[in-house]
Amino acid sequence: MFRETLSKRGVRVITGLGKYFRHIDKNRNGFLSQADFKEALKVFHLEIPEGDFESLWLILDDCKSDKVDYGEFTRAVFGEMNEYRKAFVRKAYMKLDFNKTGSVPMVDIRKCYCAK
């Protein structure tokens, strides 16, 4: 049910939610508490009944740590990338990895990308 609600709202809401998650993650560990997660859903007008929220939380917090990894949350909503997207990402990565080291330093990204 929650996934369908998000899919009806569009990519902008989902990406905005991801940005909001990163913003409220003050210690930059990639995790959100249950209270932070609930507040984020309210901010984006994605309020769900308490029983449904508890079920959603149990699914997302599969290791019972009382935290949810927002990267895992977005993957759960978006699903895995299809093969076309994976190939596109690989091609872009190969172009960025000038030295073929398997990692791309920020300086190399700046050579190819301008956000203006």
pLDDT tens digits for 7-32?
555 667 777 877 888 888 877 888 88
Give residue-wise pLDDT tens across range 47-65: 788 888 888 888 888 778 8
Average pLDDT, the chain: 79
Is the same domain home to 89 and 37? Answer: no
pTM of the model: 0.55
Residue 23's region, left for phi above 0, alpha for psi from -120 to 50, else beta, is alpha
Residue 93 shares a structural domain with residue 47: no
66 and 92 belong to one structural domain: no
Residue 4 carries which side chain, given as an amino acid letter?
Answer: E
**Structure confidence at residue 41 as a pLDDT band (50, 70, 90):** confident
* pLDDT score of 9: 57
Tell me: do 7 and 32 sit in the same domain.
yes
Query: What is the pLDDT averaged over residues 61-84?
Result: 78
User: Would you state the pLDDT for residue 60?
Assistant: 81
Where do the DSSP E strands lie in 27-105?
A: 31-33, 67-69
Is the per-residue pLDDT at 73 higher than 70? yes
pLDDT band at residue 83 under the 50/70/90 scheme: very high
CATH number at residue 17: 1.10.238.10
The reply to whether 71 and 108 lie within a common domain is no
pLDDT cut 90: percent of the chain above it = 4
What's residue 2's pLDDT?
A: 55
Q: Identify whether residues 42 and 97 lie together within a single domain.
A: no
For residue 36, the enclosing domain spans 1-78
Q: Could you tell me if 71 and 103 lie in one domain?
A: no
How many angstroms separate the Cα of 95 from the Cα of each of 45, 68, 83?
40, 33, 18
More confident site: 6 or 77: 77
How many domains does the chain fold into?
Answer: 2
Over the Cα atoms of the chain, what is R_g? 17
